[in-house]
Amino acid sequence: MQPKERLKALLMLEDGTHFWGWSFTGPGEAFGEMVFNTAMTGYQEILTDPSYRGQIVAMTYPLIGNYGVNTEDSESLKIQVEAFVVREYQPRYSNWRAEKSLGEWLSENGVLGITGIDTRALTRHLRLFGAMKAGVTTEDLDPKRFLERVKESPGLVGRDLVKEVTCPQPYRWADGKIEWGVSEFLGAGDYRIAILDCGLKFNQLRLFEERGCECVVFPADTPAQEILARDPDGIFLSNGPGDPAAVPYVVETVKQLLGRKPIFGICLGHQMLGQALGASTYKLKFGHRGANHPVKDLSTGKIEITSQNHGFCVRAEELPPEVEVTHINLNDGTLEGIRHKEIPAFSVQYHPENAPGPHDAVYLFDRFIETLKSS
Ligand SMILES: NC(=O)CC[C@H](N)C(=O)O
């Protein structure tokens, strides 16, 4: 794209701090919580991760777009971020799997991407003052007026975004494909996993399938009895967007499932389990989003390098004595994993399914299968 075709864009934070850049996707406007992700690669997976709903994501890696996008690497059926912010967008992609440019894909899907932003300054600001509401626009370039609109936009706290991303009806996952409307297990695997979909990433389903599991996915508001009626061997609680305190109906479901079937939760799923066990959640200052967060597995003493994407955390001090802390984050000491000592239920705050990120923590899927064998 030649500079003369570029549209000027404004990125405005809730505190009035603002940056000028250019759109690389055409005209547009969006609002959301401004967050940064430190992964060096994996922008397609990040853009399609439903946990990013309600957020504008900036990449700290300075060159984005150089390997294009393809039809295989998406983690859900659509682009989920509200908008995308980069230092330097590269439209000339080079990769044998690429099918189109990042800019074409974003603009076809009506998602605004802006380039030319000093993402290092932006990130330092967010680290100092915390994640905050923001807006990006090519249409309302008066900073004073746009700031007022950013202030009026809804934030993340108290907002149930799960209802926006959960599947509209149950489906069965078979050979990497969705079979809409199938809510029964057909006996195709060694283990039947019922998935409570709060905004899952497809790699969770792929990893279960690779391990011989048959997965049936249920909308987040499915009552516990309906799930139990399918007689699954285990229950998986997926990741998902927004404030974990704003989805009490899922916490209620998890309470009813506890002790009935083995449970494994990831990220929002972990926050649902934590709340079902009696702890509350709080908002982190700027969250953890990236692909190199060190986490210690306290049961083995091993350190794993993990993929992360969360802005909230479970209060460890509120967990009852029958719940053990299994993982901690070595950057800031926050809670990263729990396990119930008496009933088969465990969860982690980070992303063992990676996509994008290192594969160090995939063992947790195997640990869950071991739990199913012994339950
Ligand atoms: N990836 C996730 O599941 C994120 C969980 C939750 N929305 C948070 O930000 O903490």
List, run by run, the mean pLDDT of 10-residue segments along the chain (375 residues).
73 98 98 98 98 98 98 97 98 98 98 98 98 98 98 95 98 97 96 98 98 98 98 98 98 98 98 98 98 97 98 98 98 98 98 97 98 92
Catalytic residue (choose from 33, 82, 336, 353): 353
Say if ligand 1 is within 6 A of residue 349 CB.
Answer: no
Please report the atom of ligand 1 found closest to the CA of residue 199.
Answer: 3
Please report the atom of ligand 1 found closest to the CA of residue 312.
Answer: 10
Say if ligand 1 is within 6 A of residue 103 CB.
Answer: no
252 is catalytic: no
351 is catalytic: yes
**Confidence at residue 223, expressed as pLDDT on a 0 to 100 scale:** 98
CA of 270 from ligand 1 middle (Å) equals 9
Say if ligand 1 is within 6 A of residue 50 CB.
Answer: no
**Cis amide linkage into residue 356, ω under 30° from 0:** yes
CA of 1 from ligand 1 middle (Å) equals 35
Ligand-binding site membership of 312 (annotated) = yes
**Confidence at residue 1, expressed as pLDDT on a 0 to 100 scale:** 46
CA of 130 from ligand 1 middle (Å) equals 16
Domains and CATH numbers, the chain: 3-152 (3.50.30.20), 162-374 (3.40.50.880)
CA of 51 from ligand 1 middle (Å) equals 6
Q: Give the per-residue SS3 of the chain.
A: CCHHHCEEEEEEECCCCEEEEEECCCCCEEEEEEEEECCCCCHHHHHCCHHHCCEEEEECCCEECCCCECCCCCCCCCCCCCEEECCEECCCCCCCCCCECHHHHHHHCCCEEEECCCHHHHHHHHHHHCCEEEEEECCCCCHHHHHHHHHHCCCCCCCCCHHHHCCCCCEEEECCEEEECCCCCCCCCCEEEEEEECCCCHHHHHHHHHCCEEEEEEECCCCHHHHHCCCCCEEEECCCCCCHHHCHHHHHHHHHHCCCCCEEEECHHHHHHHHHCCCCEEEEEEEEEEEEEEEEECCCCCEEEEEEEEEEEECHHHCCCCEEEEEEECCCCCEEEEEECCCCEEEECCCCCCCCCCCHHHHHHHHHHHHHHHC
Say if ligand 1 is within 6 A of residue 51 CB.
Answer: yes
Q: Whose CA is nearest to atom 8 of ligand 1?
A: 310
Say if ligand 1 is within 6 A of residue 240 CB.
Answer: yes
Q: Using CA atoms, how far apart are residues 95 and 139, in angstroms rounded to an integer?
A: 34
Ligand-binding site membership of 307 (annotated) = no
**Confidence at residue 5, expressed as pLDDT on a 0 to 100 scale:** 67
Catalytic residue (choose from 270, 310, 340, 351): 351
Ligand-binding site membership of 242 (annotated) = yes
Ligand-binding site membership of 153 (annotated) = no
| Nearest of 342, 230, 217 to residue 277 by alpha carbon | 342
Catalytic residue (choose from 267, 270, 313, 340): 267
Is the ipTM here above 0.85?
yes
Say if ligand 1 is within 6 A of residue 116 CB.
Answer: no
Say if ligand 1 is within 6 A of residue 311 CB.
Answer: yes
CA of 312 from ligand 1 middle (Å) equals 6
Q: Whose CA is nearest to atom 5 of ligand 1?
A: 268
Please report the atom of ligand 1 found closest to the CA of residue 240.
Answer: 3
List, in sequence order, every residue forming a beta bridge with 234; answer none if it has no partner: 193
Ligand-binding site membership of 309 (annotated) = yes
198 is catalytic: no
CA of 94 from ligand 1 middle (Å) equals 32
User: What are 326's two structure tokens?
Assistant: 């299994």
CA of 266 from ligand 1 middle (Å) equals 9
Instruction: Evaluate if pTM is beyond 0.95.
Output: yes
**Confidence at residue 375, expressed as pLDDT on a 0 to 100 scale:** 84
